[in-house]
Structure 1
Amino acid sequence: MFAEILTIGDELLTGHTVDSNSAYIAQKLTEKGYWVRRKITVGDDVAEIKAVIGEILSRKPSLLIISGGLGPTHDDVTMLAVAEALGKRLVLREDCLKRIEEFYRGLYEKGLIDDPGLNEARKKMAYLPEGAEPLKNTVGAAPGAYIECKGVKIFVLPGMPREMKAMFENEVLPRLGERRFIQRKLLAKITDESKLAPILNETLKRFPVRIHSSPKGFGKYIGIILFGEDEEAIEKAKKFMEEKGIRFEQGW
């Protein structure tokens, strides 16, 4: 199963905000056994977002995670773009509207805002693509959305990291189900990646595993991560590399 991640926001493209969301999502999906093939960032433009979603869906991933652009301001256009990309209309969700109203009333009662009313900007966040399931935001105001299209599971999450992480843990992960997935981190006592490359290539051909490698320890080692669903296959892959002359130390 493979996944793609789409993060949205002009601030990500200008460098004013570092995209930590896609790194978090990729790590969590990898732990769940998904192969994240692409991470894409686009600005707050309906046509651009719509076009990229169309391109992603044409590749038929198992899963698409979208983050950012769900707030009340003029440049929060993600839900509209998702709806247009899927050929659906935006519909007002009364359950979401009630939750948003409760959120702002809570802020008002704490003295954090001076008006708890539902103005048009706040009401905007209660519009979801037709047929989408709302995802509860336990930290902020804007709900997320879950919808399937042509076999692709699509999750639309907030861009604020605290909100995104809470929604991912509470709403996304339970919908992905349980899947056994193993990661084995190793340190190879070899400094020349070009000599390691043919061994890794042969390992990938022989065993049902994925491999990631990167320099570690100031050039003294190369870190290797073996990914797979079968612990025996991972052990056989490791043994095969050792037979090819690779010496391993404890993982980092």
Structure 2
Amino acid sequence: MKESVTVEIFIIGNEILNGEIQDTNTYWLSKEITAMGGHVSRGTVLRDDLDCIATELRAAMDRGARVIFTSGGLGPTADDLTLAAVAKCVRKELRLDTKAQQMIKESYDALFDKGILAQGGLTPAREKMAWLPQDSIPLYNSVGTAPCSLLHAEQAVFISLPGIPKELKGIFNSSLQPFLQETFRGGISVMHTITVCCNDESLLEPVLTRVVPAHPDVYIKSLATMPGETPELDITLTAVGSDRASLVSLIGLALQDLTKGFSDLGFVCRNKYTKGFDQL
């Protein structure tokens, strides 16, 4: 029997321990990880204390955790210390990541264009979110502004997610899926995300109900929002296996069925994000 991947979860924020906000992320992450076959051995809540966070993360590594999730502390303010703590834990420097920087700029520009913010672009505070531990991989946040950070260090992998549940779930169900599928289910993975110009997931359900069972080897996930909350919805397609070309083909066929179905209903689709296609 394949040994389960050991996971620890760290929820970071004074607001949790002060009783201002209830932690729902531990419950949700534990449920999702367990469903994929992972073993959550411990969940911990910590204050915004650089040395404390770094010490506890190192202790998780010493206990043999293979995947270490953090939630919270990725924002633009001085008390958002999670990435600095991860860097200290693994003895790496924080470095400005240009891909993360571009992701953040595009997110703020989009919010400005929609009239949600009075200013787009980067500021020193916003750019702070692009300073990641050396060798980290930034993962796109389709819901908010702070990218996820993924870092391989020694025997462990650190996944630093935003604390806002909606953002955490959005990243987990989209840009983090290739890593999750490879780690917990084995093999290699490819992913493609499309954006559909529709603000009501129920209108897309007839197509999803038909296409999902027709492509059982492709994990198809719609990132639902409240009806009318945004003018668009994202849908991710992920496939896991041993042959990348075959996986790309599987996703291509499912994508063709989805886009045709949405088009027949009058909805416009556009490509948003891919992972693994450029390695063919």
User: Structure 2 length normalisation: TM-score?
Assistant: 0.62
The Cα offsets for residues 14-47 of structure 1, whole Å up to 9 and x where unpaired, read as 1111110011000011011111110001011111
| Displacement of 1:61 | 1.2
Select 2:52's aligned residue among 42, 45, 48: 48
CA–CA distance in 2 between the matches of 1:140 and 1:98? 14
1:186-214 deviation digits (Å, cap 9, x = unpaired): xxxxxxxxxxxxxxxxxxxxxxxxxxxxx
3-state SS of 1:26 partner: helix
Residue type matched to 2:23 in 1? D
Gap regions ≥5 residues in structure 2: 187-280
Q: After the TM superposition, list the runs of 4 or more consecutive aligned residues in structure 1 that deviate by more than 4 angstroms.
A: none
Aligned mate of 1:106, from 89, 106, 110: 110
Distance 2:165 2:100 in 1: 21
Code of the aligned partner of 1:51: T
**Structure-2 separation of matches of 1:89 and 1:150:** 15
Distance in structure 2 (CA, Å) of the matches to 1:173 and 1:118:
28
RMSD: 1.4
Question: Aligned match of 2:153 in 149, 152, 162?
Answer: 149
Tell me the residue number matched to 2:31.
27
Residue among 15, 25, 34 paired with 1:11: 15
Q: CA deviation at 1:108?
A: 1.4
Cα displacement (A) at 1:179:
3.2
Q: Which runs of 5+ in 1 are unaligned?
A: 181-252
Whole-angstrom distance in 2 between the partners of 1:60 and 1:172: 22
How far apart, CA to CA, are the structure 1 residues paired with 2:101 and 2:143?
A: 16
Measured in 2, the distance between the counterparts of 1:64 and 1:118 equals 30
Q: Percent identity?
A: 36
One-letter amino acid of the counterpart of residue 169, structure 2: K
The residue aligned with 1:225 is none
Contact 2:106 2:121 in 1 (8 A): no
Distance 1:167 1:65 in 2: 13
Q: Which amino acid aligns with 1:75?
A: D
Q: Decide which structure has the larger Cα Rg and report it.
A: 1
Matches within 5 A, 1:136-215: 136-176=140-180, 177=182, 179=185
- TM-score scaled to structure 1, two decimals? 0.69
Instruction: Indicate whether 1:73 and 2:61 are aligned.
Output: no
Deviation per residue, 1:58-111 (Å, 9 max, x gap): 101121111111011121111111111110001111111112111111111222
Count of aligned positions: 180
Per-residue CA distance 1:109-167 (angstroms, 9 max, x = gap): 22222222411100101111000111111111111111112211221111110110011
SS of the equivalent of 2:173 reads helix
